Homo-oligomer: A and B are copies of this chain.
Amino acid sequence: MAVSITPGRTALLITDPQVDFLKPESVVWDHVGETVEENNVVDNLVKLRDAAREGGIRVFYSPHYYESDEYENWTHLNSIDQIMFDTRMFDRAGSGSAFIPELEPDENTFVCAPHKQLSGFWSNDINTQLRQRGVDSIVLAGMSANLCVESHLRDAVEAGFEVLVVTDATAAAGREALKAAYTNYGFIAHETATTDEVTPRLAQKEVASADD
């Protein structure tokens, strides 16, 4: 089904728009750099952000940070936690956790508390912030495709939101991981679309007429 994109009822939600996913100085650039560049993720996120602002659609960031206390004291690390902790990815005290300059929050951006593990619906205020503003549909993009984006997608659907995932405004730790995400979006999202397809709808320049 086509997701309705309407000011006041739709949010653009971007996960992890941070140096450690989107810039060559990322601690995991060897893993994510290839698909970040192929998909032009930074350019596409900027396009989405600009279109949302133009159309009166609020932008929400669900960022990813860890503190020294967490690196030292967490006890149930799964595989991806182990990688992030070994590399001190998203270290709040370091430069890798910063928002990339192109996506510095502006007056149209609300920055949620950091999510922990993969989904803000389990560990930050994203659900509260969206519901308290009357939002019931989400345009979802960011990093990484099969981990934080997909977990936010799955939980948003369970929480009752309609979700459109922007397939070329995301990337992953390798082609297999990206492909896995695309496969799963096909089952779980209400709609998938490219950046160029969704920007006019965010900007309120054309009425959505697509059937999914």
Contacts and interface: CB of A to CB of B under 8 A. Distances in A.
Interface of A: 1, 69-70, 73-80, 82, 110, 113-119, 122-125, 127-134, 146-147, 150-151, 154-155, 157-163, 173, 176-177, 179-181, 183-184, 186-190, 212
A82 B74 CA distance: 33
B123 A124 contact: yes
A87 to B, nearest CB: 14
A159 B113 contact: no
B128 A1 contact: no
B119 A187 contact: no
Nearest to A107: B69
Contact of A76 (B116, B125, B155, B160): B160
Contact of A123 (B77, B116, B117, B127): B127
13 contacts: A75-B134, A76-B134, A76-B160, A79-B186, A79-B188, A115-B125, A118-B158, A123-B128, A147-B187, A159-B159, A176-B183, A179-B180, A180-B184
Given A129-B116, A160-B128, A78 B188 contact: yes
A67 to B, nearest CB: 8
